[in-house]
Homo-oligomer: A and B are copies of this chain.
Amino acid sequence: MGAVGLPARVHVREVGPRDGFQNEPETIATADKVALVNALARTGLSRLEVTSFVRADVIPQLADAVELLGAIDVPDHVSVSVLVPNARGLDAALEVRDRFDEVNVFLSASESHNRANVNRSVAESLDGIGRVAERARAAGLRCQGTISTAFGCPYEGRVPVERALEIARALHDLGCEEVGFGDTTGMANPVQVRAFFARATAELGEQVELTAHFHNTRGQGLANVLAALDAGCRSFESSFGELGGCPQSGPTHPATGNIASEDLVSMLHEMGVETGIDLAALIGASRAARDVLGRPLGSHVLTAGPVEWR
């Protein structure tokens, strides 16, 4: 029924070890992270964001980035990415250059959110990203740029599509082969998402890979995936177990962060869209994460299991 038609296959990047873990209040032992990353790396996935080179005092949970990258055992077909917030982060990352394949640089579409998040204007962020991307590319790394609050900002409200696409174009010009659009606080709806990706794919789809990063904050995460698919988006990010988001909402309601990878993969496979991922293995990794974290996770398929057609 979509105007474009669904694709035979899409890319899925697992971001739980970075975007999920960083929101966990209790420190996760590096050995546990290694085991979980290794389990994820053996699910058949092709893209895995493992950690972030942020300041240890800002996100203590990810202070073991070098140690973690040195300890994981990831098959060659898996492209490992790390998040790099600035030049200092890149310096640290390049010390272990042989342990990963991509860097993820980021900023927000709205000035207020970017200021709140990294204390810079959008222009200043783009300037810094340009220098990071240049050095990263010189080191042979693929660059992904992520635009937070691309579909709405908790401070400013609506974000014009033009603004998000203008920043995406700038990121491409600065060397990003891929641009991700983040629905950071779960404000996007499917009508908006269809219009957004229809325009994004028309204007930028030839030059740059466009990736959707939805949250399930208001239960619309997979509906937004469907809408993005309809509009030609072919790349998605998700987090195993639905890790990430707002852990402060705690055990009373864990389901407010990223879309769960197993919920995404289950829906895609049921619709006939391949991911290369073994759903049972992915559920196994999420079960292991639940055991490590010792609390219920927001994922639905982790609880209900995959659809069994008999």
Q: Which residues, 256 to 288 on A, are CB-close (under 8 Å) to B?
A: 256, 259-260, 263, 266-267, 270-272
| A186-B298 Cα distance, complex, nearest whole Å | 17
Chain A 277-310 near chain B by CB (<8 Å), digits 1 or 0: 0000000000000000000101111111011111
- A2's nearest neighbour on chain B, judged by CB, is B1
Q: How many protomers of this protein does the assembly include?
A: 2
| A6-B155 Cα distance, complex, nearest whole Å | 29
Let me know if A34 is at the binding interface, CB within 8 A. no
Interface residues on A, range: 35 or more
CB distance from A228 to the nearest CB of B (A): 10
Q: Which residues, 211 to 253 on A, are CB-close (under 8 Å) to B?
A: 216-223, 225-227, 230-231, 249, 251-253
Question: Does B152 contact A309, Cβ atoms closer than 8 Å?
Answer: yes
Which chain B positions have C-beta within 8 A of A302?
253
Question: Does B191 contact A271, Cβ atoms closer than 8 Å?
Answer: yes
Which chain B positions have C-beta within 8 A of A300?
216-219, 253, 255-256
Question: Does A219 contact B187, Cβ atoms closer than 8 Å?
Answer: no
Question: Does B222 contact A158, Cβ atoms closer than 8 Å?
Answer: no
| A1-B256 Cα distance, complex, nearest whole Å | 27
- A224's nearest neighbour on chain B, judged by CB, is B223
Known: A194-B1, A296-B253. A217 touches B304 (CB 8 A): yes
Q: In the complex, which of the residues B223, B230, B255, B260 contacts A267, with contact meaning CB atoms closer than 8 Å?
A: B223
Known: A218-B266, A271-B191. A231 touches B307 (CB 8 A): no
- A156's nearest neighbour on chain B, judged by CB, is B310
Question: Does A310 contact B155, Cβ atoms closer than 8 Å?
Answer: yes
| A129-B159 Cα distance, complex, nearest whole Å | 53
| A154-B263 Cα distance, complex, nearest whole Å | 19
CB distance from A165 to the nearest CB of B (A): 18
Question: Does A263 contact B218, Cβ atoms closer than 8 Å?
Answer: yes
Chain A 171-211 near chain B by CB (<8 Å), digits 1 or 0: 00000000000000011011110100010000000000000
What 6 pairs between A and B have smallest CB-CB spacing?
A157-B310, A219-B263, A189-B270, A219-B300, A253-B303, A191-B271
20 further contact pairs, Cβ within 8 A, besides A217-B304, A255-B255, A256-B300 = A1-B194, A1-B231, A6-B191, A152-B307, A157-B308, A187-B307, A189-B267, A189-B270, A189-B271, A190-B267, A192-B270, A216-B300, A218-B304, A218-B306, A226-B226, A249-B303, A253-B296, A253-B302, A255-B298, A256-B303
